[in-house]
Amino acid sequence: MVVGDVFNSDSDLLEYSDLAAELITWLRSKTFILGKLPYAVLRAVLTWWTAHYNAYRRLLDLYIPLKLLTDHDAKYPGSQNEQERIMITGNKKAQEKAEKMVKIICDPVFWHKLTL
């Protein structure tokens, strides 16, 4: 069995691995946010268990810096303060995606499931 087979099966925990992969992909596309983080965001390789472990472990290491960035943005709601925000920026579509990622970052269940 390869890693891809396990991640394609039905499981409550696998829902959170999909969210982690989506968050990692989004973070890696945001160079401004990456510049604010103390560590690089790692991407998992589909066929390597260790790569998934390391990517999720690194994401867990980034929880506090990511949470601080979301807290910073929460101080500046609305479009009038857009220049002050770090995570929720760009056009309407980009802001909607960022809001979805912020919800993941602020979800304690996501972080708990990632530790399992």
Each residue of 4-44: pLDDT tens digit?
A: 555 555 556 678 888 999 999 999 999 999 999 999 999 98
Provide CB contacts within 8 A for 75, sequence distance 6+. Answer: 84
What's the pLDDT band for 46 if we cut at 50, 70, 90? confident
What CA–CA distance (Å, rounded) separates 22 from 39?
18
Place of tokens 């965001």: 41
8 Å CB contact between 62 and 48: no
What's the CA dihedral at 113, 17, 56, 85 to 10 degrees? -90
What CA–CA distance (Å, rounded) separates 92 from 66?
22
